[in-house]
Structure 1
Amino acid sequence: ATAEQLEHYLHLRAGIRCAAFHEGLSIIERDRAAAWFADAESGAQALICSEIGSEGRNFQFAQHLVLFDLPRNPDLLEQRIGRLDRIGQAGDVHIHVPYLAGTAQERLFRWLHEGLDIFRQNCPAGRPVFDAYRERLEAALDGGEDINALIEETREATANANRRLAEGRDRLLERNACRPVEAQRIIEAIRDSERSGELQAYFETLCDNLGVEHEYHSEGCLVLRPGEHMDTAHFPELPEDGRTVTFDRATALAREDMAFLTWEHPMLSEAMEAILSTELGNAALGTLKLRGVPAGTLLLECLYTVNVSAPKSLQLQRFLSLSPQRVLVDSRDRDLSQAISHERLNQLVRRVDHATAVGIIRQLQGAVDERLAAAAGFAEKHLATLREDATRRAENHLGEEITRLESLKRVNPQVRDEEISHLRWQREESLAAIARADLHLQAVRLVVTA
């Protein structure tokens, strides 16, 4: 009720565009209110929230937080502040706490501000200090105890608690966890990937091929709906009433009603998995003209994926390349993968109509089977090299890590035997999984020279 009253007052009396966000609204209505507030051009100037707005929402684009009332629990207060003070915040967060002089609200503000210093910095000791002084705080808010004495004791207790927390920090762990150069390299790689536009282009092609309707919403954003002629009964993460998605990280941070699509998003990964598990698009036939190559010469392009059964926790991709393996063989069973790239072949090949393609396949079935056997032989050689390289990398990386922890344990009792045992288990399981890796034929393309 308070949120609604404030929203009506600001809108009608002060002429401020504002939206309400409270328990009485449906999830869709709350999403719309948050989206309107996030709209930088014509959105709401203020969002009036009840306690439900203190968690689960991201408003890092805003820089002013007005706390009409204060929670006694410091954790709840930090949750409220954390809606603005989070990744993506470009400036300082200004916190405003209106109160009437001499009231409980003023005394609570002073205890939080002067005792815990919670408005200026994170306060990890806030909850234990609050638990220790809860009864006395309640008495002080009712006027039954001297608030100044309580603030002084709280300030000292907070300092002591913060000091104990600092003494218990694992400095070695912190030093190892912070690798700015490596972190910046990863950040730049992510940014380059997102700027390329490759993901959006692929996703639109995917939707076109599977019959999913998509329309332009705004820059880097699409509206998706199930199509009437979808090739699959279900498209991952797409409800019947549709969904709005974005490929822009900044937009996703400001608009929680939009799904942020990356290569790892379930909508993408499950759709790609569905394609790989079916025969859709796994065979093609084309023709090309090459100077000096007799007409009727066959080229067979095969794409294999590396298949390895192992727990994700092993992170085998660190050692074993899971990139598709390509083999291109000609009529004399020579591997031309290095001579003619996949991209170059795409430029040269021309499509063949269905009737002609059926006739070619019937006539060349035996020759195609022979080329497939030759391609499988080359692929196995590639796999053997991959296994050898992966085994060497796994032994070197995990072996060095085990040696490092064993040396560190001699001088640091915080290194546990369980950590070293776990690394040994990782090494054994990783090497065994790499040895079991095999190749699966995923797609073939037959090219006949004309």
Structure 2
Amino acid sequence: MNAKEIRELFPILNQQVNGHPLVYLDSAATSQKPVQVIEAIDRYYREYNSNVHRGVHTLGTLATDGYEGAREKVRGFINAKETAEIIFTRGTTTGVNFVAQGYARNFIKEGDEIVITQVEHHSNFIPWQQIAKQTGATLKFIPLAEDGTITVEAAEQTITANTKLVALGYVSNVLGSINPVKEVAAIAHRHGAVIFVDAAQAAPHIKVDVQDIDCDFLAFSGHKMAGPTGIGVLYGKRKWLEKMEPVEFGGEMIDFVDLYDSTWKELPWKFEGGTPIIAGAIGLGAAIDFIESIGLDAIREHEHKLVQYAMDQLSTIEGLTIYGPKERSGLVTFTMQEAHPHDIATVLDTEGIAVRAGHHCCQPLMKWLNVSSTARASFYVYNTEEDVDALVKGLIKTKEYFGNVFS
């Protein structure tokens, strides 16, 4: 299928916004959902809505099979060794906090080092900032290259024998840069540290293989990869998950409860307290089926061509600055001399074009870039060159409008 055929599978895209055909360029914030995912969630609620792991009746069995079947799909999608290493969460943010409070808070002490970068999304920044405060550990930052990328050499110079944890995004949600997580993982392990990888912007677009990367923990969200909101995944090596303490306590995750003590279920249910996100997991499983029907290599190739086309076209607009490296994932972040990013987004919206404007939950990176905010156009499998053309046309209109207003 080509992008136009794929686009037909996304009902929300077949509409007009402000009198114009919708051009959705905000997939890095959340992707749209194909009919396969919508129907899978609808089918669960219509046909076998029930709790899991508890009842022996038919609906309970069907729900459990759907929920655990989704876990197996995730395992295969990221090439984990076993389903016990796959924890369903509410999203990437929850996964980071599980590792921060369940692992790092118990195994990191005063004098230890936590290594991160200024490129990180706040979700992979603030939890480690808090752990450093709670434990007395030192927070260190891998210095960035001129284009905002992270080099293996810089990681080598930053990670030391005192480093106990490295947290790194696989793909930047602002710059689109693809970081050398496999090489950084090797450096971390050589110094006896563990590595956490934020794959929120990677999982929808490129192949994520946790065994090849050899990461200790990795997290991503369903809603950025054609799945529903409210569902995410935390991967962890069994040896670390077994040592971690649960962060949420209650029903479903317990083995035995006495008056003064309790024991926990085996992995992965030890970390899934309460009624789990059943419909979300089933929807995520359907999203994985959808992605694999297209192929991550095909998705990557399509986005690569599209983002290069976008950068070529945007570079013709005088006064527009693009941030990040030439080789990148499927997004372009930029500013324009004539207009604030929020004004850019507002004018584009009048043309039916949806882009993101703001600091993108990356204020330390904005400070490094010496800007307060940027505009961002992000692409996915359903976008076409015509979408890019509409964006360029809208930006030229924005430039002309604000140029006339302030001339």
TM (normalized to structure 1)?
Answer: 0.27
Q: Which has the higher helix share?
A: 1
Which protein, 1 or 2, shows the higher relative CO under an 8 Å CA cutoff with sep ≥ 6? 2
Structure with greater Cα Rg: 1
TM (normalized to structure 2)?
Answer: 0.29
